[in-house]
Chains A and B, each alone.
Chain A
Amino acid sequence: MKLNDEEQAMLAGDLGPARQWAMDHQIKVGRLFDAEDLVPVSQAHMMGDPEAVGIGGAEFLENLAAQGAVVEIPTITDPRGVDLNHYSPIGQTEEMATLERRIIAALGRMGVMMTDTCINYQTIMPPIRGEHVAFGDTGVVIYANSACGARSNFEGGPSALAAGLTGRTPRYGLHLDENRRATRRFVVSEQPRGLTDWGVLGAVAGKTAGSYWEVPVIEGLEVMPTSDEMKHLGAAMASYGSTPLFHLVGITPEAPTIAACGGGRLTPEKLTNEMMGAMRSRFGGKGDKLDVVVFAAPQLSLVEMRRLAELSAGASFSVPVLICTAPQVYPDAIRMGFVEKIETAGGKVLVGTCFYNGFAREIGEANGWTRLLSNSAKIVNILGGYGYQPALASMEDCIAAAIKGEVA
């Protein structure tokens, strides 16, 4: 890889051991993907939840902090695993909280801003078209690439932190024009209505495309998604397909036409009603017993919190209902009375976390939860591997089920 003088100095250790680690890490990754050089990035967003980081990862971060590491560019964080104001009631242990506190302390010393959110494109600073960034949550990356037209690969926690420390990232993958052209051309056969429908569309497109290196373009949409619907579309597509970028013809910035995103030469493939139906029904059906309802993945926006409050007003849930939102949304949701409505009905709003990255297996075992219902196509995908039998339903149906205690 071609390195400029400053990058050579980082690699040689002239700018401290932390930047030396970061540059060495970026070169290892860049070489595997044939990156020719590094590209400056304006922001980094890193995932560092305790379940994934582990004790070894916490020690690694503490060592970097002790070496004087300080980030060069604005660096923010993805949801945490433990809401430090509410963890024992949901079955998280003191050990989990302690690990969380260690990670927060180490990242804080490095100047990382603990935003604890996976909806930073709605709440912190959405990137601009063509802006190179190093984002580290698949839902964040796919939204930034697809809806904003910014440029990021999936940067896992260590790589996002390395980008924060060096202010750059290896130039490969989606930083390059040629990898942003459509490779699969999907035609919808039904028009999505509501968040869960958009999530199901994303899940089917992602599952069908099936690789980080495929770029789906979707045509035939007659409805314009809201930001929340794009969020569910992208999060599900990234979860089922490891997909980092999609285009919607006539909607997303790099696809004003099918030809503009390179889709004109591709054979159209129909996403059939059967495919959509199979995605919905593989997660259980009416009358099934219910243990818990979760709204998360991605964290809820203020608009989703408002809708949930409307549905919860005056209700009484017969099973636990957990809601994960961003620390930036929560104060407004309190001020506007949304949290009170939800919690009076028996729900609990968790702040700065996301259910699946907070020791979901241990929480399930501690509470005896297996039958989980959510409106997030992403979370039902992930939790199948964590010992749950998850089911998918719209927000309205999830609330009806929570009141009844079974899948309505």
Chain B
Amino acid sequence: MKTLKCHVGMGEKVEADALVAKDNFSARYDLDRIKGVFSRPDHALAGESYHGKVLVFDTAKGGVASAWMLHEMKERGLFPAAILFNRANTILAQGAALANLSMCDRFDDGDVTDLIRTGDRLIVDPSVGEVTILRSG
């Protein structure tokens, strides 16, 4: 078990498996939100389901749509458990605030896409700025 410190984030404490990519993220550019999968052919996670996962990316990309879309995904019932970034952008933070989705960024120990691997079991606790790796994937 290992605990990573990060900036205090937003949303509830959650436990779920990690899905990691050294890539950036936009709900509009990258997802098929009806099927609940990454749909952009050149995205590192193309074809993967995001439902119930802790998504781990470098940063956010693209436009403003994700601010509504995280809420829309939650209402639809296909949504990630949390999103972790090296650095969030304003839109993803605003979207997480509206959707009450857990989000953290700025990790003390370096690149979060190296610190966490796909399949790791995580506890994300935004209120104190901690992500615990319960076991490796």
Q: Name A's B-contacting residues (CB within 8 A).
A: 25, 28-29, 31-33, 47-49, 51-57, 60, 78, 136-138, 153-159, 173, 210-213, 238-242, 357, 361, 381-382, 384-387
CB contact list, B91-134 vs A, under 8 A: 91, 93-95, 97-98, 103, 105
Instruction: Specify the main secondary structure of chain B where it touches its partner.
Output: mixed
Chain B residue nearest in CB terms to A139: B63
State whether A154 and B90 are in contact (beta carbons under 8 Å apart), knowing that A54-B76, A384-B40 are contacts in the complex: yes
8 A-B residue pairs with CB within 8 Å: A47-B64, A52-B69, A55-B72, A56-B71, A60-B71, A136-B64, A238-B63, A385-B43
Cβ contacts B39-68/A at 8 Å (1 or 0 each): 111110000000000000001111111111
The one of A51, A156, A173, A361 that contacts B67, using a Cβ cutoff of 8 Å: A156
- Alpha-carbon distance between A49 and B40 when the two chains are bound, in angstroms: 21
Say whether B97 contacts A29, CB under 8 Å: yes
Do A137 and B64 form a contact, CB below 8 Å, given A28-B97, A29-B94?
A: yes
- Bound-state CA distance A173–B29 (Å) is 23
Asked if A154 and B68 make an inter-chain contact with CB atoms under 8 angstroms apart, the answer reads: no
**For residue B30, which residues in chain A have a CB less than 8 angstroms away from its CB?**
385
List, in ascending order, chain B residues with CB within 8 A of A241's CB: 61
The minimal Cβ–Cβ distance linking A244 to chain B, given in whole angstroms, is 8
**In the complex, B8 has a CB within 8 A of chain A:** yes
- Which chain B residues border A31 with CB–CB below 8 Å? 8, 10
| Contacts A31-B8, A158-B67, A159-B67; A242 near B62 (Cβ below 8 A) | yes
CA distance A173 to B94 in the complex (A): 13
- For the complex formed, measure the closest distance between the CB of B96 and the CB atoms of chain A, giving whole angstroms: 8
B87 & A213 in contact (Cβ 8 Å cutoff): yes
Closest 10 CB pairs of A and B: A156-B67, A56-B75, A54-B72, A385-B40, A212-B89, A52-B68, A28-B97, A52-B65, A159-B94, A158-B98
Could you say which of B28, B69, B88, B94 has the most chain A C-beta atoms within 10 Å of its C-beta? B94
Contact A211 B87 (CB under 8 A): yes
Q: Is B13's CB within 8 Å of the partner chain A?
A: no
CB nearest neighbor in B for A56: B75
Give Cα distance in the complex from A138 to B9, angstroms. 24
Q: Which residues of A contact B28 (CB under 8 A)?
A: 52, 382, 385
Whether the pair A385, B63 counts as a contact (CB closer than 8 A) is no
A173 x B72 contact (CB < 8 A): no
Tell me the bound Cα distance from A218 to B111 in angstroms. Answer: 29
Which B-chain residue is minimally distant from A211 (CB atoms)? B59
Q: A47 contacts which chain B residues (CB < 8 A)?
A: 64-65, 67-68
Q: How far is the CA of A32 from the CA of B31 in the complex (A)?
A: 25
A242 pairs with B68, CB closer than 8 A: no
Question: When the two chains form the complex, which single residue of B39, B60, B87 contacts A385, counting CB atoms closer than 8 Å?
Answer: B39
- Interchain CB contact (< 8 A) of A156 among B7, B32, B39, B95: B95
Q: In the complex the two chains form, is B67's CB within 8 Å of A157's CB?
A: yes
- In the complex, A361→B69 CA distance in Å? 15
Which one of B29, B75, B105 lies within 8 Å of A381 (CB-CB)? B29
Residues of B contacting A157 with CB < 8 Å? 64, 67-68
A56 touches B40 (CB 8 A): no
Beta-carbon nearest neighbor of A357 in chain B: B65
Asked if B22 is at the interface of the complex by the 8 Å CB criterion, the answer is no
Given A52-B68, A210-B24: A382 in contact with B97 (beta carbons within 8 A): no
> In the complex the two chains form, is B93's CB within 8 Å of A25's CB?
no
Q: Is the CB of A239 within 8 A of B90?
A: no
Additional A-B contacts beyond A52-B65, A158-B98, A159-B97 (17; CB < 8 A) = A25-B98, A28-B97, A29-B94, A32-B105, A51-B65, A54-B69, A54-B71, A56-B76, A57-B68, A57-B71, A60-B71, A138-B64, A154-B91, A158-B67, A212-B59, A242-B26, A384-B29
| Chain B minimum-CB-distance residue to A51 | B65
The answer for the CA separation of A384 and B88 in the assembled complex, in Å, is 23
Most A CB contacts (10 A, CB to CB) among B9, B39, B62, B64 go to B64
* B74 in the interface (beta carbon within 8 A): yes
Q: Mark B1-39, 1 if CB is under 8 A from A, else 0.
A: 000000111100000000000001010111110000001
With A and B bound together, what is the CA distance between A384 and B29 in angstroms? 8
In the complex, what distance in Å separates the CA atom of A56 from the CA atom of B74?
A: 9
